[in-house]
Amino acid sequence: MDFEEACDRAEEIEFSMTGDRRLAALRREIDALAVGETGRAMFLCSLAEFLGFQGRWDEAREAYRNALSDGGRTIIDPRIGLLDIDVESGEHDRIDTHLPVLLQASRDGELSDHDCEWIGEALEEADRLKDAHRWFTIPLRDIDPDDIGQLPIGCINGRYRVRRDLELPMDKYDEATFAVRDLYRAARGLDD
């Protein structure tokens, strides 16, 4: 099984099964793969996400930790999943244990724009607006605000939201937000 096939199988499970059937199907997929085998870490993340939806926080954390130990390719970085579980479960005192690890991963080039957006949104949900601002800004640091085609819409929108909540003055990136949104809509043929 290659990674795309594993993603397709996880999506099939997600959309065709609920409850215990879904958990059992994900566990069967995980058990059928050796540690490090393509798809195993991704199925572990799918399991963790579903357990989180059910409020089974400790089991979700364990599944994300197992995905991290597995080391295989995933859609969401398990370290971000752990942060998200702590936010969702109200364990906000644990947030500071994740941020240095994630910041180092960012510095090492291990996180994508989407990863930074996901972290920013989790921190925004936890009402950690200054931290959210930092994470929404990280992908923008090497992009000129006039180069609207390069600005990631999720990060630019998130940054704009938290800056308004923090009552910060408008800057060039804030001003670019509207042009990025227009470009995004036009590219998708969406009306205003």
Predicted TM-score of the model (pTM): 0.90
Q: Both ends of the chain: CA-CA distance in Å?
A: 42
Q: CA-CA distance, 123 to 108, in Å (whole number)?
A: 21
pLDDT at 98 over 80: yes
Q: CA-CA distance, 166 to 129, in Å (whole number)?
A: 7
């240095």: which residue's tokens? 100
Same domain flag for 49 and 106: no
Tens digits of per-residue pLDDT, 81-94? 999 999 999 999 99
Same domain flag for 129 and 189: yes
Tens digits of per-residue pLDDT, 116-163? 999 999 999 999 999 999 999 999 999 999 999 899 999 999 999 999
Tens digits of per-residue pLDDT, 57-69? 999 999 999 999 9
Quick one: pLDDT at residue 186? Answer: 84
Dihedral Cα 154, 123, 68, 1, nearest 10 deg: -30
- CATH code, domain carrying 191: 1.25.40
Residue closest to 10 by CA, chosen among 35, 41, 37: 41
Domain housing 91? 77-192
